[in-house]
């Protein structure tokens, strides 16, 4: 059964989530029963996943330096950098909820993994390459091979190609328990996202109609 996230974002009708839990429709590990305030919430992202084939494919119009994330002007933290956004990356809609859409690029994720300090720390270049290669099989005997980084970068996108924030989701390949797969959903727009729209549709553009605000996302059943 898919989880209707419109019932839990922003803390609206939060009791409805508990009702789903106790009815057995959604396992407890699907979310953390805690409101984070504003438009943020905690949930296992797999309950918000959609079939990417129902949506367009996007690409950035021109190579650009990616906005930073985690910028905090209050304490002076300058934020963290991400790898550049390149035109060759293809982005597909991966999650949809409450009229919001997340796009994900496997190629961009791989490059992010290769540049990750936590992935590279104390490891040989060959091992880093094997960890970040999604084409390599990951088994009990291959360690971190093919598992990627701890988090997967996603971007909030509007149908017209306007990008307006980062979303980091936990990488389930890196986790042992489903209860560990709960991610904090919040729009990180602390970097510079000016000059929109950045993205354009490059394939399945007839599916843009499925990204209209009045269209209910068809969530992938789990």
Under a CB-based contact definition with an 8 Å cutoff, are residues 153 and 112 in contact? yes
Q: Is 93 exposed, middle or buried (0-12, 13-18, 19+ CB in 10 A)?
A: buried
Phi/psi at 201 (nearest 5 deg)?
-75, 135
Does position 206 have pLDDT exceeding 60, yes or no? yes
What pLDDT digit, counting tens, does each position of 1-43 carry?
444 443 334 444 333 334 434 444 444 444 443 444 457 888 8
Q: Is the pTM of this model over 0.85?
A: no
Residue 71 pLDDT greater than 80, yes or no: yes
Query: Which whole number is the average pLDDT over 144-171?
Result: 92
pLDDT for the residue numbered 147: 77
pLDDT at 216: 53
Measure the CA–CA gap between 114 and 128, rounded to whole angstroms: 7
């Amino acid at each position: 059964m898919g989880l209707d996230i419109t019932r839990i974002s922003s803390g609206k009708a939060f009791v409805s989530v508990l009702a789903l839990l106790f009815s057995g429709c959604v396992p407890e590990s699907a979310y953390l029963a805690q409101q984070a305030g504003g438009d943020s919430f905690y949930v296992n992202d797999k309950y918000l996943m959609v079939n990417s084939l129902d949506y367009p494919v996007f690409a950035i119009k021109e190579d650009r330096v990616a906005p930073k994330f985690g910028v905090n002007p209050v304490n002076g933290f300058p934020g963290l950098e991400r790898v550049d956004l390149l035109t060759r990356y293809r982005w597909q809609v991966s999650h949809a909820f409450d009229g919001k859409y997340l796009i994900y690029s496997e190629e961009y994720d791989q490059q992010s993994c290769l540049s990750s300090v936590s992935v590279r720390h104390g490891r040989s270049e060959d091992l880093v390459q094997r960890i970040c290669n999604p084409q390599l099989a990951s088994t009990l005997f291959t360690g971190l091979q093919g598992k990627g980084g701890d988090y997967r970068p996603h971007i909030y996108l509007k149908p017209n190609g306007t990008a307006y924030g980062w979303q980091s989701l936990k990488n389930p390949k890196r986790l042992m328990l489903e209860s560990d797969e709960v991610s904090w959903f919040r729009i990180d727009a602390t970097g510079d996202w000016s000059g929109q729209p950045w993205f354009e549709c490059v394939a399945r553009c007839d599916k843009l109609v499925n990204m209209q605000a009045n269209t209910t996302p068809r969530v992938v059943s789990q």
